[in-house]
Amino acid sequence: MRGRNFKVRLLIGVAIALFFVIKRCSQREENPYTGRMQTISMTPDKEIQIGLASAPQMAQQHGGLHPNNEYQALVDNVGNKLVNNSIARETPYNYEFHLLADPNTINAFALPGGQIFITFSLFSKLENESQLAGVLGHEIGHVLGRHSAERIAESEYWQGLATAGSVGGDIGGLVSGIGQNTLLTNGRDDELESDDLGVRFMIKAGYDPEEMIGVMEILKAAAGPNRIPEHQSTHPDPDNRKEKIRESIEKYKNAL
């Protein structure tokens, strides 16, 4: 009887796994702006909707928007210059740039659909307009690269396989661990792709891409000696990012 129950569970687990594999295959599509194949489970309109709905809460978590209109205007001008001089203007996304009041958290991030944020803590450490362009160009790259939508779809896939593993043979934890490592690796790849796109956007808009190296130095100093090891983080080590940025600069400086 126990053997029969095990076979039934195994068949159910296989069926669940097969469902999520087929679903993932049906969601594969080529990003028209990067040429990369991705797993995407939502439309651009849905990405825009999620970003707009989440933006107020994200701003609230960082102390709201910064009250200095001149600083905000600078962020808008640099961000819009990057968009208008790059393939980003061809996307369906409505890019909006927000300077957050947060004086402590050194960070910038993008929500799906074009909502882009930079904290005053990071803004105040930037040395020139080109460094600001490097930060915003990187975040535009995340939007254009559809990284949030891809992570959502991939997470659904690995959660489905973990469920199948738990039902079919008590290996859900193992599958979940493999999925977590895969998502971390993919996250690091997203950061490098966004750096590459950011360099491209900077050059097209007339900014000095070498200043992105300075941004990496700022991030490295902010992380300090106790920063999370690269293999445990969604972000590559700043030193490794600098090396890849230099490769991107060489790739684009004569091609664009």
pLDDT tens digits, 48-62:
999 999 999 999 999
Given this model, what pLDDT does residue 182 score? 45
Cα torsion angle, 160, 162, 163, 169, sign: positive
Backbone dihedral region of 64: left (phi > 0), alpha (psi from -120 to 50 degrees) or beta? left
**The residue count for the chain:** 256
pLDDT tens digits, 144-195:
999 988 888 777 755 655 665 665 455 445 444 544 554 454 568 889 999 9
Task: Return the percentage of the chain with pLDDT > 70, whole number.
Answer: 71
What pLDDT band is residue 239 in, cutting at 50, 70 and 90? confident
Amino acid at 255: A
Backbone dihedral region of 224: left (phi > 0), alpha (psi from -120 to 50 degrees) or beta? left
CA nearest to 153, candidates 29, 65, 35, 64: 29
Given this model, what pLDDT does residue 254 score? 76
Structure tokens at 237: 């080590």
Instruction: Quote the CA–CA distance of 194 and 209 in Å, as a whole number.
Output: 13
Domain boundaries in the chain?
2-252
More confident position, 181 or 31: 31
pTM > 0.85: yes or no: no
pLDDT tens digits, 110-139:
999 999 999 999 999 999 999 999 999 999
Instruction: Quote the CA–CA distance of 201 and 227 in Å, as a whole number.
Output: 29
Cα Dmax for the chain = 74
